[in-house]
Chains A and B, each alone.
Chain A
Amino acid sequence: MNDSSALYQEAIKQFAQAAHGHGRLEAADGEARLDNPLCGDRVRMQVAFASGRITAVAHETKGCLLCRAAASVIGARAVGQDEAAIESVATALESMLKNKAPVPAGWPELSMFEPARAYPSRHRCVLLPFRALLAALTESRR
């Protein structure tokens, strides 16, 4: 029998519960809404951007604990990052999940998703907020 308690560790529940960054920005430079059509998870991500760095981020996330926890990590950590750093952490996170690569440098809390490696169908739940953030950043350049 596998053990789902390893997946649903306290840190994930706490980040999901805290919902850092939940809400909307009054003035966003970029916005994106991404869906996971398989499960109905939905993330609307907004960013404000100045001098090459994220100055504010907000999201509205409807989804599972993994998706909500990942969005919450973004809410807690994305401000001050540049687009290259976000791309780098998103790539590293995907690699952590799919290729057993190390936890993305500088984002130690993402280690809470390491048990999700064993559940490929859930990788998308973790990655969806990061993909939404990248899409919002792309949108901000238009």
Chain B
Amino acid sequence: MNAAPASLRDEFPLLAATPELHYLDSAATAQIHRLALDAVVRHETTRRANVSRGTYRLAEAADLAYEQARQTAARFLNATSTDEVIFTSGATASLNLVAHAFGGTLKAGDRVVISVAEHHSNFVPWQMLRERTGIELALIPVTAAGQLDLARLPELIDSKCRLVAVTQCSNVTGAWTDVATLVTAARKVGAKVLLDGAQGAQHGPQDVRALGIDFYAFSGHKCFGPGGVGMLWGRGELLAAMPPFLTGGGMIGEVTPQATTWAAPPQRFEAGTPPIAQAVGLAAALEWMMSLDWPQIHAREARLCELMIEGLQRIPGLRLLGPEAQEARAPIVSFEIPGLHPHDICQVLDAHQLALRGGHHCAQPLLAALGAEVCTRASIALYNDEADIAALLDGLGFVLRELA
């Protein structure tokens, strides 16, 4: 049972309309599920109004839809309360929110620990915080396989450490982070833990309480939902102690000519009109995700990943990045072929109906640590099947013939 049921691929309008397409770039953007698209259209055509402002029935309906979306997201994350669930424009905005708002509670000399494996969106905000406030920024190195080198934790996570902010799963190597070990180390010194779930959330509902973390960020467009919406989950007591990031309408308690007080979370962190229809669409996608048999999906994704890796390893000189053990990686596979640039590889693959991404994948420190500058990435999602893998391996044959 390795082929994606045709009906599953057919649930994604773009894939249904382009049966010839082999989409292997879901780590960048997953295709939108029909239910999510329908929810956006239904909302925009029947309940479109601003939220938290109007008293007319249409506005009440918009309010209800938006808050129901928040409830769905809270269930997807197993959050204790909807007050801990903040809609943002995406994972990048969520991470910047924490860097500014939680970062605003830090002082010079406090340490934030990130890793070399971070996407730039969980790297640059902390460098900026270091410039603003004088925090110390420390990096967990990676092993040759791109996994966080947790042997270094004792020297990095000590009494100066206030926050550990790391990826749940590398967008380049697919390497899963050993969250439990990090959380244990952080708890020993009272540090908080932020998990960048941009890649992780696509592979199933999360349990932020079981993970034992303090913040979780992810994007809607990588979870089969619309673009322009994402989530930040944060522990209630932490959010309550944090100043706002963006300011403006909707996030205030009271504004006087002299001063302003803040609304309670989550509204404190949702300045301006939020992405309402996108949140409703995302909720539909998350609801759909919660209805799936994830152990079966994981087994199928892993099998496809294994097939892909077996095929790639037959290409002379090809270098795979990332961990060898299947269970250590999400179905994200990056590779280098000596003498061939990823842009050229992807261009030829495109001619064979294959959509892959080449470049530095917004993870230049990780690539440098792995001795690469750029690489080609194929990422598998639940709608991929064996035909996609076969097409990729055939396509790479064309690449070698055409570009050599």
Contact = CB atoms under 8 A, between A and B. Distances in A.
Contacts of A39: 342-343, 358-360, 374
Interface residues of A, number: 20
Contacts of B348: 4, 8
A5 B348 CA distance: 8
Contact of B347 (A7, A38, A41): A7
A125 interface: yes
Interface string B335-352: 000000111100110111
A39 B364 CA distance: 11
B344 A8 contact: yes
B403 interface: yes
A83 to B, nearest CB: 30
Contacts of A8: 344, 347-348, 402-403
A65 B374 contact: no
B21 to A, nearest CB: 11
B344 A65 contact: yes
Interface in B45-77: none
B373 interface: yes
A30 interface: no
B353 A1 contact: yes
Contact of A62 (B353, B358, B373): B373
B228 to A, nearest CB: 21
Contact of A122 (B347, B352, B360, B402): B347
A38 B403 contact: no
Nearest to A6: B351
B373 A40 contact: yes
Interface of B: 341-344, 347-348, 350-353, 358-360, 364, 373-374, 402-403
12 contacts: A2-B351, A4-B347, A4-B348, A4-B351, A7-B347, A13-B403, A38-B359, A39-B358, A40-B374, A63-B341, A65-B403, A122-B343
Interface of A: 1-5, 7-8, 13, 38-41, 62-66, 119, 122, 125
